[in-house]
Structure 1
Amino acid sequence: MELRHIRYFLAVASEMNFTRAAQKLCIAQPPLSRQIQELEEELGVKLFERRPHALRLTEEGMIFKEYATQVINLVNKSTEDIRERNHGLQGTLYLASVEGHAPRLYAQWIAAFHKKNPHVQYSLWNGNSDDVVHRVMNGLCDLAIIIEPHNAEGVESLPVYQEPWVAMIPASNPLSQNPSPTIRACELLPYELFIPSRTSRLEEISKWFGPDAKPIVRGRIAHLLSAYELTRLGVGITIYPASAGDIANLTDVCIKEIVEPSNTASYILIWNKYRQLSHVAEEFLNFIKEQ
């Protein structure tokens, strides 16, 4: 199997049409079809389900697409790493993060770093902690920001920020009428809650209510905008780091810091300790450590 076979497959998987994929690759359709057929024979599975007027990935094809994408990303990243070591800081920094305050941290760091290194490019990816850690461990990003606690093995970490946890409450909820800027965790018990999506986060937040209490968790949310919209429409109360207030229209929701117990969302920068960081990633990490 050669890299061109993988690139051909990804082009067809993207276009879901052999003619368009061939045009994109600047090759004729018959050779492309033969290359895909040879790839299927080598793997011993069908990657595409072919119909008269439709093409779709088989289950094996979807799995292979995920791995093929990782392979091409790693090849592209490795190529950039080699080039930048010979020509200075002009590669791409691959960064990932959870939501909350993490994007703001990246923005501040990049703005300052860019002044000294104007030729560096940036690829930023956002998701929940599990997805972010997966990208770090599989070499798909150089550095990432997550919130503790985490169960990722094989990473180095650097504390970078802390902020309190808050309750985002619909304006229609009676709790929003209390002028106090804080709220006790026990006051949230009668209400349906939305929390960040990690399992470890559910375990952590459940402890706030005591050993015998059972909070009503209506859903787990990976993206802050989804949490805000559900809260704004009165579906439930969202528990999130304090930076949730950055996007909130405070006529629709009320933000209160959770106390009793008082808890802190601790952001950490992580990287894979078993992989050599690219030159530009090393320089960026050193820059952050100096801040």
Structure 2
Amino acid sequence: MELRHLRYFLTVCEEMNFTKAADKLMIAQPPLSRQIKDLEDELGTPLFIRGHHSLRLTDEGIRFRTYANRIITLADRSVEDIREMSSGLQGTVYIAEVEGKAPRLTSSFIASFSEEFPEVQYNIWNGNSDEVTQRVRNGLADLAIIMEPYDPQGLHSAPVFREHWVAMFSSEHPLAKTRSATVPLKSLAEHDLIIPSRGSRLQEISDWFAPLGITPKVRARISNATTAYELCVQNVGVAIYPAAAGDLINGDNVMIRKITNPEFMTTYVLIYSDSHPLSPVADKFIEHIMKLINASEQGDAQ
């Protein structure tokens, strides 16, 4: 099996048509079909279900596409890394990040790093904390900015930023009648809640209410704060999210209040693998971030 076979396979996956894939690859269609058939023979299973006018992946094909994408990405990156070693500090830093404050943190790191290394390029991927962490573990990202909690096994990490949890709700919601900048946790118990869909968040938020003897009424679990915000606009419920979600608010139709009694914090964390080798440029970028973190901590201590 050669890399070109994987590239052929992935192109067919993109086009779902052998003729179109052959045109894109600038080869004849019969040799392409033969290469895919040889690949299937080597794997011992069909990768595609071929109809008269249709083509779709088998379950094995779907699984193999994941591996093929990973292999091609790592192969391309290895070429870039070796070229970087012989041509000075340039190339691409592969970054994964969650939503919320992470994009702003990433942008800040890139901006300051670019002042010293303007030739460096960046590839940024967005997802939830679990997806982003897995991307680092698989070697598809050099580093990531995620939110706690996370499994630290196999990772180097450093806290980057902390922020409060807040409640968001429509200006028509009963909670909007008070002018306070905060909202007690207990007062949220009687309302329908909208929370992040990440698996650990439900347990975390339930644990907040447990000392009060209350089970939260979760109306919706949403993977991104934008949709949660839109549900608040429609007065569907009260969204509980980290404070950066407040950056989404446009106008006065949604209110945001810091949750208190008690207060709750979340931490953004820089992570990178302790087993996958870093390219010179990625290593330098992480070193730059660590210097910024240390400088910030020293400033806070003074």
Same fold (TM over 0.5): yes
The answer to whether the Cα contact below 8 Å between 1:92 and 1:120 also exists between their aligned partners in 2 is yes
Matched with 2:71 is 71
Question: Identical aligned pairs, as a percentage?
Answer: 53
Matched with 1:238 is 239
Residue 151 (structure 1) shift: 2.1
Matched with 2:186 is 186
Matched with 2:215 is 214
- Cα deviation 1:147-201 (Å, max 9, x = unaligned): 1121241111111101111011122211012110101111111122121222222
Matched with 2:114 is 114
Distance 2:127 2:222 in 1: 11
User: Secondary structure at 1:96's aligned position in 2?
Assistant: strand
Matched with 1:277 is 278
Matched with 1:100 is 100
Q: Aligned pair 1:89/2:83, yes or no? A: no
Residue 284 (structure 1) shift: 0.5
User: Secondary structure at 1:209's aligned position in 2?
Assistant: helix
User: Secondary structure at 2:164's aligned position in 1?
Assistant: strand
The answer to whether the Cα contact below 8 Å between 1:127 and 1:223 also exists between their aligned partners in 2 is no
User: Which 10-residue stretch deviates more, 125-134 or 148-157?
Assistant: 148-157
Residue type of the partner of 1:12? V
Matched with 1:164 is 164
Matched with 1:258 is 259
Count residues with an aligned counterpart: 291
Matched with 1:27 is 27
Distance 1:283 1:235 in 2: 46
The answer to whether the Cα contact below 8 Å between 1:133 and 1:152 also exists between their aligned partners in 2 is no
Matches within 5 A, 1:38-57: 38-57=38-57
Distance 2:265 2:228 in 1: 19
- Cα deviation 1:248-284 (Å, max 9, x = unaligned): 1242211000011111111110011112211111100
The answer to whether the Cα contact below 8 Å between 1:127 and 1:222 also exists between their aligned partners in 2 is no
Matched with 1:146 is 146
Consecutive unaligned residues in structure 2, runs of 5 or more: 293-302
The answer to whether the Cα contact below 8 Å between 1:195 and 1:220 also exists between their aligned partners in 2 is yes
Distance 2:138 2:200 in 1: 21
Matched with 1:287 is 288
User: Which 10-residue stretch deviates more, 230-239 or 162-171?
Assistant: 230-239
User: Which 10-residue stretch deviates more, 275-284 or 219-228?
Assistant: 219-228
The answer to whether the Cα contact below 8 Å between 1:171 and 1:254 also exists between their aligned partners in 2 is yes
Distance 1:276 1:196 in 2: 33
Residue 204 (structure 1) shift: 1.5
Residue type of the partner of 2:193? L
Instruction: Show structure 1 runs of 4+ deviating over 4 A.
Output: none
- Cα deviation 1:123-155 (Å, max 9, x = unaligned): 111111110111010001001011112124111
Cα RMSD (Å) of the superposition? 1.2
Distance 2:152 2:214 in 1: 29
Residue 233 (structure 1) shift: 1.5
Residue type of the partner of 2:112? A
Distance 2:44 2:146 in 1: 39
Distance 1:68 1:40 in 2: 13
Residue type of the partner of 2:41? E
Residue 218 (structure 1) shift: 2.2
User: Secondary structure at 1:210's aligned position in 2?
Assistant: helix
User: Which 10-residue stretch deviates more, 15-24 or 227-236?
Assistant: 227-236
Provide TM-score, normalisation by structure 2.
0.93
- Cα deviation 1:216-240 (Å, max 9, x = unaligned): 1222222221111122122221111
Provide TM-score, normalisation by structure 1.
0.97
Distance 1:219 1:140 in 2: 31
- Cα deviation 1:42-96 (Å, max 9, x = unaligned): 1111111111111111111111111111111111111111111111122111001
Consecutive unaligned residues in structure 1, runs of 5 or more: none
Distance 1:250 1:243 in 2: 16
Residue type of the partner of 2:16? M
